């Protein structure tokens, strides 16, 4: 009897540990679905385990705000488009960096550890909706010394 109780305790501890390895969204949906499925269960083992898992999820939910979730997408492995997810993440990172530095592309490029010209080109080509978030492009006029010197070099003697 002691071995059976120890085995059940170990299994429940293992299951609670495995709960932490799954995404919070999946944990919440699975717990809510388990409550529905096991509401009429007479098993003495299920209710304490369900209660323990519920307490663990409740403490985690306090740190993370709830979002509207489609239960079937979470439980039945929704397919992802990797390219679209990467583009969305890149868009969000660039937008956040621009917001932090007041729209200055060169400063945002420093935050993102990329060349400012590459970032400016990425914004222009991939994410034109971010053009409103950046400061306007200001072209610096050429200095008179450089302009006159280039004329001297190009004119025949």
Number of domains, the chain: 2
Do 100 and 64 lie in one domain? The reply is no
Check residue 136 and give its pLDDT. Answer: 86
Asked if 53 contacts 26 with a C-beta cutoff of 8 angstroms, the reply is no
Which residue segment(s) compose the domain that 70 sits in? 2-75
Does residue 152 sit within a domain? no
8 and 60 in a single domain? The answer is yes
**Per-residue tokens: 23:** 């995404």
Where do runs of H (alpha helix) occur along 20-45?
Answer: 24-37
Element (H, E) at 105: helix 105-112
Query: Can you tell me the distance from the alpha carbon of 149 to that of 75, in angstroms, rounded to the nearest whole number?
Result: 70
Q: Does residue 64 sit in the same domain as residue 106?
A: no
- The pLDDT tens digits of the residues spanning 53-89 come to 777 767 666 666 555 556 666 666 777 889 999 999 9
Please give the C-alpha separations between residue 72 and each of 23, 69, 120, in angstroms, as whole numbers.
15, 9, 40
Model's pTM, two decimal places? 0.47
Q: What is the mean pLDDT of residues 99-125?
A: 95
Instruction: Say how many residues make up the chain.
Output: 157
Say if residue 6 is in the same domain as residue 71. Answer: yes
Residue 148 domain-assigned?
Answer: no
Place of tokens 């269960």: 41
Q: Is the residue at 151 inside a domain? A: no
- What is the reported pLDDT for 17? 45
> Is the pLDDT reported for residue 154 higher than 70?
no
């Amino acid at each position: 009897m002691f071995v059976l109780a120890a085995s059940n305790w170990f299994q429940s501890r293992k299951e609670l540990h495995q709960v932490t390895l799954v995404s919070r969204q999946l944990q919440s949906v699975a717990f809510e679905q388990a409550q529905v499925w096991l509401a009429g269960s007479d098993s003495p083992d299920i209710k304490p385990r369900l209660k323990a898992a519920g307490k663990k999820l409740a403490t985690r939910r306090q740190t993370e705000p709830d979002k509207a979730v489609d239960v079937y997408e979470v439980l039945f492995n929704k397919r992802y488009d990797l390219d679209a997810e990467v583009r969305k993440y890149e868009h969000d990172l660039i937008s956040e960096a621009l917001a932090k530095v007041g729209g200055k592309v060169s400063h945002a490029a420093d935050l993102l550890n990329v060349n400012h010209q590459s970032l400016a080109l990425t914004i222009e080509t991939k994410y034109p909706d971010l053009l409103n978030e950046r400061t306007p492009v200001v072209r610096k006029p050429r200095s008179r010394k450089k302009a006159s010197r280039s004329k001297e070099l190009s004119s025949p003697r």
